[in-house]
């Protein structure tokens, strides 16, 4: 009886202390609740949750960017460039009762001034990710079905290659870019499938955001660690303002991608540091002008060029978690990630032949700033030996005709501030060596201030 009484007294005291402690913890203020919710506009008066319950999820992102060329390049100055991105995803199981199906649609509005790199920095890589033509257009429109317990999937529709191939997995995502130079989002070398300036027009190109093309991607994942995927796209992306011209033609050819991937220590159940390693290649079936002849054609010294059937490239991508402060259970995944990428292409069928880049991304470096991201990256882009040889040969005939191209290099230092759960502020400082591949344009220093809202 005595022990029971002591236990009851202890329990009563503990309950009182716990109650007093709970009363001393102030309830989150209205501002705190607003700042920590996922979206600027919250749950849209319950509509977002209700639609999600029935399989419909939507998001809006607004990205505003002010690139400023501080020194070098073509000239100093700044402009404003913006993007409004809307996405809609429909889940077949919640909506119609069968598993494995997903419908996706996106639209975008690019606005503000055009041509920051063309008029200010002078670089080929494009220091600002939003440095694109103004347009209001459809982005992607596709349906994906998974089979055999999600080991096999087929995606068909209007597709952008940067949604599936050469995609980083640890340090970036839709609306959450850790680096702002375009080449760190999707590398510059695969753009070889576009015609170099002054070369004969063929119309083929690369369906990378904001452009898309009719295509299909088949992906096989026999285990959580391994996957193999192949994609085929129309060789001509839709360049209309609306993005609704779904064109497939034999002269445009087809652009094919193949990628093999291995994930090291995937998932949160495995305590080891995670990584992704990818080996891939692409092949475009259309005809391409000879790079050497194309320079003579562009200079008005040749009536035409030799044609080559098809062009190709190969690539390797590696990302590796190097350090995690609190393990994989940490929602912010605070720690250091390193990445490396190398790409190669034939010198006689494109503008560039080699690209190497890499860097480090640290999330949560500053105490109490768990979601902030500090990034440092370097890129080296080598121009075609055949183009360089043609320029030298023309200079031998007419000295001073060309500043011979060699490489373009980029160094970017960026810090993304997670001001609220739905708002980021990101300054990026970049130094560009040999803009557009030669020393004719002074090295450029660019400062970009970007902000992203998720609502």
**Domain spans of the chain?**
30-454
Cα distance between the two ends of the chain: 61
Split at pLDDT 50, 70, 90, the class of 294 is very high
253 pLDDT more than 60: yes
Over residues 234-263, the mean pLDDT reads: 85
Split at pLDDT 50, 70, 90, the class of 7 is very low
Global pTM value: 0.90
Split at pLDDT 50, 70, 90, the class of 113 is very high
The per-residue pLDDT for 243 is: 77
Please state, in angstroms and rounded to a whole number, the distance separating the CA atoms of residues 93 and 91: 6
The per-residue pLDDT for 240 is: 80
Please state, in angstroms and rounded to a whole number, the distance separating the CA atoms of residues 418 and 421: 7
pLDDT digits (tens, 9 = 90+) for 203-222: 889 999 999 999 999 999 99
Please state, in angstroms and rounded to a whole number, the distance separating the CA atoms of residues 82 and 128: 11
Split at pLDDT 50, 70, 90, the class of 177 is confident
User: What's the chain's average pLDDT?
Assistant: 90
The token duo for 262 is: 């291995």
Split at pLDDT 50, 70, 90, the class of 332 is confident
Q: How many CB atoms lie within 10 A of CB 441?
A: 19
Split at pLDDT 50, 70, 90, the class of 175 is low
The per-residue pLDDT for 27 is: 76
Split at pLDDT 50, 70, 90, the class of 416 is very high
123 pLDDT more than 70: yes
Over residues 66-83, the mean pLDDT reads: 97
Q: Is 30-454 a CATH 1.10.287.3510 domain?
A: no
pLDDT digits (tens, 9 = 90+) for 135-151: 999 999 999 999 999 99
18 pLDDT more than 50: no
Split at pLDDT 50, 70, 90, the class of 32 is confident
241 pLDDT more than 90: no
The per-residue pLDDT for 328 is: 86
Split at pLDDT 50, 70, 90, the class of 22 is very low
| Side-chain half-sphere exposure of 282, counting CA atoms within 13 A | 29
Over residues 288-310, the mean pLDDT reads: 94
Better pLDDT: 15 or 186: 186
The per-residue pLDDT for 222 is: 96
């Amino acid at each position: 009886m005595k022990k029971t009484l002591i236990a009851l007294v202890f329990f009563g005291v503990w309950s009182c202390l716990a109650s007093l402690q709970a009363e001393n913890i102030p309830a989150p203020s209205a501002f705190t609740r607003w700042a920590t919710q996922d979206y600027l506009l919250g749950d849209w008066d319950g509509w977002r949750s209700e639609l999600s319950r029935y399989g419909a999820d939507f998001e809006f992102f607004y990205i505003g960017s002010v690139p400023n060329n501080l020194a070098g390049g073509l000239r100093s100055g700044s402009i404003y460039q913006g993007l409004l991105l809307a996405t809609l995803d429909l889940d077949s199981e919640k909506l119609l009762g069968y598993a494995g199906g997903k419908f996706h649609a996106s639209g975008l509005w690019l606005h503000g001034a055009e041509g920051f790199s063309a008029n200010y920095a002078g670089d080929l890589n494009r220091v600002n990710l939003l440095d694109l033509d103004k347009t209001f257009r459809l982005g992607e429109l596709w349906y994906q079905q998974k089979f055999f317990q999600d080991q096999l999937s087929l995606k068909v529709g209007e597709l952008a290659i940067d949604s599936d191939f050469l995609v980083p997995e640890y340090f970036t995502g839709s609306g959450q870019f850790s680096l702002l130079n375009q080449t760190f989002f999707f590398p510059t070398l695969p753009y070889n499938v576009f015609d170099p300036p002054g070369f004969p027009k063929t119309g083929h190109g690369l369906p990378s955001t904001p452009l898309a093309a009719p295509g299909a991607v088949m992906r096989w994942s026999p285990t959580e660690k391994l996957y193999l995927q192949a994609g085929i796209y129309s060789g001509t992306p839709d360049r209309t303002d609306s993005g609704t011209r779904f064109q497939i033609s034999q002269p445009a050819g087809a652009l094919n991608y193949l990628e093999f991937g291995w994930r090291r220590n995937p998932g949160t159940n495995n305590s080891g540091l995670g990584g992704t390693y990818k080996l891939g290649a692409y092949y475009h079936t259309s005809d391409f002008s000879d790079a050497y002849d194309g320079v003579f054609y562009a200079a008005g010294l040749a009536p035409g060029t030799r044609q080559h059937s098809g062009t190709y490239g190969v690539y390797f991508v590696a990302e590796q978690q190097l350090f995690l402060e609190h393990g994989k259970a940490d929602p912010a995944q605070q720690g250091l990630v390193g990445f490396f990428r190398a790409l190669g292409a034939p010198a006689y069928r494109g503008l560039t032949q080699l690209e190497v880049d890499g860097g480090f991304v640290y999330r949560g470096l500053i105490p109490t700033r768990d979601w902030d991201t500090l990034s440092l990256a370097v890129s080296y882009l080598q121009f075609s030996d055949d183009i360089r040889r043609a320029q030298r040969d023309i200079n031998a005939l007419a000295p001073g005709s060309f500043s011979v191209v060699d490489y373009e290099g980029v160094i970017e230092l960026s810090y993304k501030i997670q001001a609220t759960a739905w708002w980021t502020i990101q300054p990026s400082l970049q130094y560009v060596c040999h803009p557009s591949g030669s020393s004719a344009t002074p090295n450029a220093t660019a400062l970009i201030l970007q902000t992203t809202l998720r609502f």
